[in-house]
């Protein structure tokens, strides 16, 4: 396997909140490969957004990277401190798009100016040249009559169109990595597919590496090469999309997949994960998911599991993979998935 273009190791992110320290990311690691699409999945508050924000230095003012490294182009992003250093990365090398396109654009400036701003900032284009390039990019993201649209304001665009504009802003400078923070959550289903298709097309054309942050496993199945599952500020399982869907190892991944309506078994109530995620103000002992895991082992409450390798591309942080662990049966849905996978493989 080739060198990763971005490699995060044991990243710890802390926030100071009302005098208390909250550990939002607890030593998460991640490798990102050129041209691939990685999806980070997990429930709300699991730290998906916060983790990727550290790649851009966009944590809120009360948060900081406490330890760990994020290697990108020979630089350790975790060590960058000043805004000036970040400005060389943000928007230029690593770009990000956000969930709600309705509010992501400045309502008082024309759409064209908002894209052009990036070009002027990072590529030094000016005047007519910048304008021509902006119109070209607008066309590229599928906006018809871009020369006219250039002069319009965001309120004259629909939600899907605005997300196209946001994408145009993000890709205007040919970044190497594009982080999409739930890019389709706020859009209706028909538009969702179009936006995913657009991102896929741009990825091919521009050779982008993409990180999707989502809790929609449907989107994951649709777009991802690799999947990272996050729980309570940690990546607990990492593998190719196929490995995660058909050969999941971590009990949390099992639980997540079992609660998918599409995988549910007819006539049986839909599975839901009991309990609530751990309080990140407290120190978490052992496996963070253990208190909600009906199959938890004794050691899960005592010692944090290391990553066990399942295949060269597949890792999971669960004691179940330790050779000494007792045999634990996965839930029925997971067994069905595995069986289907085994059948297809033959």
Residue 182 region by backbone torsions, left for phi larger than 0, else alpha for psi between -120 and 50, else beta: left
- Is 80 strand, coil or helix? coil
117 sits near other proteins (criterion: CB under 8 A): yes
Report residue 326 CA to chain centroid gap.
33
Provide the mask over 203-242, with x wherever binding to other proteins is found by CB under 8 A and - wherever it is not: ----------------------------------------
For other proteins, the closer CB: 180 or 229: 180
Ranges of beta strands (E only) in 215-275 are: 226-231, 234-240
Asked whether position 87 contacts other proteins by CB under 8 A, the answer is yes
Q: Which residue has the tokens 């999806």?
A: 39
Stretch that binds other proteins, among 162-170, 258-266, 301-309, 333-341 (CB under 8 A): 162-170
How far is 289 from 249, CA to CA, in rounded Å?
13
Q: Does residue 186 touch other proteins according to CB under 8 A? A: no
Query: What gap in Å lies between CA 118 and CA 107, rounded to an integer?
Result: 17
Part of the chain binding other proteins (CB under 8 A), chosen from 4-12, 118-126, 201-209, 311-319: 118-126
Does 103 contact other proteins by CB under 8 A?
A: yes
Our finding on whether 95 is near other proteins (CB under 8 A) is yes
Query: Which tokens hold the place of 74?
Result: 């020979």
**Minimum CB distance to other proteins, residue 134 (Å):** 13
Measured CA distances, 332 to 163, 337, 338, 339, 340 (Å): 39, 9, 10, 10, 12
Using CB under 8 A, which of the segments 78-86, 195-203, 209-217, 223-231 binds other proteins?
Answer: 78-86
The verdict on 302 binding other proteins (CB under 8 A) reads no
Using the minimum distance from each CB to other proteins, give the nearer residue, 95 or 232.
95
Of 29-68, which residues contact other proteins (CB under 8 A)?
Answer: 56, 58
- Measured in whole angstroms, the distance separating CA 285 from the mean position of its chain's CA atoms is 26
Provide, rounded to whole angstroms, the least separation between the CB of residue 82 and other proteins: 11
Q: Is 345 in the site for other proteins (CB under 8 A)?
A: no
Is there binding between residue 122 and other proteins (CB under 8 A)? yes
State which of residues 12, 59, 77, 118 lies at the interface with other proteins (CB under 8 A): 118
CA distance 121 to 128: 15
Beta strand pairing status for 308-311 and 234-240? unpaired
Should residue 111 be labelled a site residue for other proteins when binding is judged by CB under 8 A? no
Write down the least CB distance from residue 155 to other proteins, Å: 5
Residue 171 engages other proteins in binding (rule: CB under 8 A) = no
Quote the CA–CA distance of 265 and 268 in Å, as a whole number. 6
CA dist., res. 38 & res. 240, Å (int): 9
Burial of residue 264, with CB atoms counted within 10 A of its CB: 0-12 exposed, 13-18 middle, 19 or more buried: middle
Residues in contact with other proteins by the rule CB under 8 A: 56, 58, 83-84, 86-87, 89-92, 95-98, 100, 103-110, 117-118, 121-122, 153, 155, 166, 169-170
């Amino acid at each position: 396997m080739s060198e990763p273009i971005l490699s995060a190791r044991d990243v710890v992110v802390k926030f100071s909140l009302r005098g208390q320290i909250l550990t939002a990311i607890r030593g998460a690691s991640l490798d990102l490969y050129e041209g691939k699409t990685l999806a980070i999945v997990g429930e709300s508050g699991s730290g998906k957004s916060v983790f990727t924000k550290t790649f851009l230095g966009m944590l809120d003012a009360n948060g900081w990277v406490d330890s760990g490294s994020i290697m990108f182009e020979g630089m350790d992003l975790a060590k960058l401190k000043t805004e000036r250093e970040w400005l060389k990365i943000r928007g230029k090398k690593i770009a990000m798009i956000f969930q709600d396109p309705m509010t992501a654009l400045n309502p008082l400036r024309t759409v064209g100016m908002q894209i052009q701003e990036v070009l002027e900032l990072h590529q030094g284009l000016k005047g007519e040249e910048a304008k021509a390039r902006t119109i070209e990019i607008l066309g590229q993201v599928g906006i018809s009559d871009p020369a006219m649209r250039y002069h319009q304001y965001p309120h004259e665009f629909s939600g899907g169109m605005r997300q196209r504009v946001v994408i145009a802003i993000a890709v205007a400078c040919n970044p190497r990595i594009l982080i999409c923070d739930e890019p389709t959550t706020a859009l209706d289903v028909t538009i969702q597919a179009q936006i995913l298709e657009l991102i896929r097309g741009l990825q091919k054309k521009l050779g982008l590496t993409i990180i999707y942050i989502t809790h929609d496993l449907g989107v994951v199945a649709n777009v991802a090469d690799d999947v990272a599952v996050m729980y309570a500020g940690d990546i607990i399982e990492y593998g190719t999309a196929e490995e995660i869907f058909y050969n999941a190892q971590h009990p949390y991944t099992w639980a997540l997949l079992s609660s998918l309506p599409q995988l549910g078994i007819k006539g049986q109530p839909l599975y839901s994960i009991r309990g609530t995620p751990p309080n990140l103000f407290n120190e978490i002992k052992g496996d963070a998911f253990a208190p909600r895991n009906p199959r938890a082992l004794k050691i899960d409450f005592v010692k944090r599991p290391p990553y066990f390798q399942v295949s060269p591309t597949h890792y999971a942080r669960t004691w179940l993979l330790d050779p000494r662990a007792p045999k634990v049966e996965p839930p029925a849905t997971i067994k069905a998935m595995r069986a289907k996978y085994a059948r297809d493989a033959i």
